[in-house]
Amino acid sequence: MIDPDFTTPADRPRGATLPPWAIPNRDRHPKVYLQFLCDPTGRVPRAYVETDGGRAALASTARWA
């Protein structure tokens, strides 16, 4: 289930950069949802960086393996 706060706001205006996750069809893009989860306010252009976030996620799961 996707957070309605993610899908409800309108798409960002053309030429605008923030919020970075407010793109058309955003519910189809899992990495855009991760961006939203990291910064729901949409004020940080790169709140989720795959190499950093992925590394942290793998490190946290390695403890459980």
What percentage of residues in the chain have a pLDDT greater than 90? 45
* Domain edges within the chain: 4-62
pLDDT at 24: 93
Cα(55)–Cα(49) distance, integer angstroms: 10
pLDDT digits (tens, 9 = 90+) for 29-50: 988 988 998 899 999 998 888 8
pLDDT at residue 21 tops 70: yes
pTM score: 0.73
Per-residue pLDDT at 12: 93
Across 15-34, average pLDDT: 91
Are the C-beta atoms of residues 36 and 6 closer than 8 Å to each other? Answer: yes
